A and B are shown apart, each in its own frame.
Chain A
Amino acid sequence: EAQVTQNPRYLITVTGKKLTVTCSQNMNHEYMSWYRQDPGLGLRQIYYSMNVEVTDKGDVPEGYKVSRKEKRNFPLILESPSPNQTSLYFCASSLSALAGGTIYFGPGTRLTVT
């Protein structure tokens, strides 16, 4: 089944404790990205990647890191999480890096930072 998977689905952590949210897609998509969803703000892009070893900042990159060492994986790293990073996170991928393509989203990771 073609899909985007994320792990963990739920995470509660404390301020400053490094964490990684994994993301993997099995559709051989070139484009991958991370979004966060917050009430009243919709989906905001954190980082995106056009292909292996090519990553760039989205609209809200502060406090996050990403890497794209393999085509299928795009982990999101929070080196020192803070409470304002409490949010619902979505990984996404698309066959095309152009905006006309369909974006496929993962199921989401709900992160709480205390």
Chain B
Amino acid sequence: DQQVKQNSPSLSVQEGRISILNCDYTNSMFDYFLWYKKYPAEGPTFLISISSIKDKNEDGRFTVFLNKSAKHLSLHIVPSQPGDSAVYFCAASDQYSSASKIIFGSGTRLSIRP
């Protein structure tokens, strides 16, 4: 049973438009959420995080929204750029538990078309 789900394996967005990547979780104990970005032939790199005490966190073109009641988070990229083409992993945990308890989703491949 996957505790963190990314239901869209892929997403194609036109350059300059908004990209919205979605993630659902089932464990109500999760209170810390992260997004990682992965380019081909490289390891994932940390992108942005959000704690459950917030419902929004913004970093430049990237904004993560958290809806605790729906157990849903989303990553918005505005405007989308060609360099944003990558696989995005959502992850969740109880932030005071062990790092070994971080659960990753299956990833969404984002393609930005010209």
Contact = CB atoms under 8 A, between A and B. Distances in A.
Contact of B107 (A42, A50, A100, A108): A42
A4 B42 CA distance: 11
A35 B9 CA distance: 20
Interface string B76-114: 000000000000010001111111111011110000000
Contact of B106 (A31, A40, A102): A40
Contacts of A98: 95-99
Given A40-B106, A43-B89, A99 B43 contact: no
Q: How large is the interface on B (under 10, 10 to 19, 20 to 34, 35 or more residues)?
A: 20 to 34
A107 B41 contact: yes
A101 B99 contact: yes
A4 B44 CA distance: 12
Contacts of B106: 40-42
B104 A33 contact: no
Contacts of A56: 100
Given A108-B41, A108-B43, A103 B105 contact: no
Interface of B: 4, 6, 9, 32, 36, 41-46, 89, 93-102, 104-107
Interface of A: 4, 31, 33, 35, 40-45, 48, 50, 56, 58, 90, 92, 94, 96-108
